[in-house]
Homo-oligomer: A and B are copies of this chain.
Amino acid sequence: MKTVELLEEHSVLDGVQYKYRHRSESLNCSMTFSLFLPNKEKFPEPSLLWWLSGLTCTDDNFTHKAGAQRVAARLGIAMIMPDTSPRGKEIADSDDYDLGQGAGFYLNATQKPWSSHYKMYDYIIKELTSLVREEFHLIGPEFISGHSMGGHGALVLGLRNPKRFQSITAFAPIVNPSQVPWGIKAFENYLGDNKEDWAEWDAVELIKRYSDKKVPILIDQGDTDQFYKKELEPDKLVKVAKEKKYPLTVRMQSGYDHSYYTIATFIEEHLEFHMNQLKNIKPKE
């Protein structure tokens, strides 16, 4: 029996774009997600990209604006786009765009009033994972990618689950949330005052203490991104990655900003990066 309700189904670029609703146990609310499947005959067992969106986004933004379906259809990649937080009138929220609904930060909140619903890490890594495996039989190799807050999510979820994700890419990620306004505000609210708890959800801190399988990371950062200096600063990640000899590539993109136009420009190279890692890794198995 399907536990998901189909909301939309569209043919697009030799694949199908779906939008679903389901009841989430971990978030204790109704959630939507979007799913792209490449041509089933050509790719019966596709790879799976997890795409994590940024502040204020839903599952629609990347789905509508990135043009990724064209590339995923060609390379044989399924893509799942979760929403960015629990949703609903009964769910804790704030008037600010960077806290509460639309701003889940891909962590498990421990502080009231957030802790009863804001469990985006468990939702993605456990619940939605089981769902796509069981309902959609997506059991191929997995990659993770995201933008801004979702770039932070891709880095943290990827680094915490290196046996699962073959590679990580991000656009303009918040690499060191413990040290920047967006992250400090979120972590204080969701996690409380203990900085040791924050480190578990901070890519710079995770790489500092990293001792697991090193999953390659590619980051694109636009140099006219209005949040570059205040919230993002991938140099901080470059520094700790060098110290730990962690395989990280950060590309500064001249003239590119924080918008989905930047994602639309480079998403093809990100998906190709993921598929290339797969080729590199497979012979070693």
Contact = CB atoms under 8 A, between A and B. Distances in A.
Interface of A: 10-14, 17, 64-65, 67, 69-70, 222, 224, 255-257, 259-262, 264-265
Nearest to A9: B257
Given A10-B259, A11-B224, A64-B65, 18 more contacts: A10-B257, A10-B262, A11-B255, A11-B257, A11-B261, A11-B265, A12-B262, A12-B264, A12-B265, A13-B261, A13-B264, A14-B265, A64-B64, A64-B260, A65-B65, A67-B67, A69-B261, A69-B264
- Total identical chains: 2
A17 B262 CA distance: 11
Contacts of A12: 261-262, 264-265
A67 B64 contact: no
A10 B258 CA distance: 9
A246 to B, nearest CB: 29
11 contacts: A10-B259, A11-B224, A11-B257, A12-B262, A12-B264, A13-B265, A64-B64, A64-B65, A64-B260, A67-B67, A69-B264
A260 B264 CA distance: 16
Nearest to A265: B13
A13 B261 CA distance: 8
Nearest to A260: B64
Question: Counting chain B CB atoms within 10 Å of each CB, which of A11, A222, A255, A259 scores highest?
Answer: A11
A122 to B, nearest CB: 32
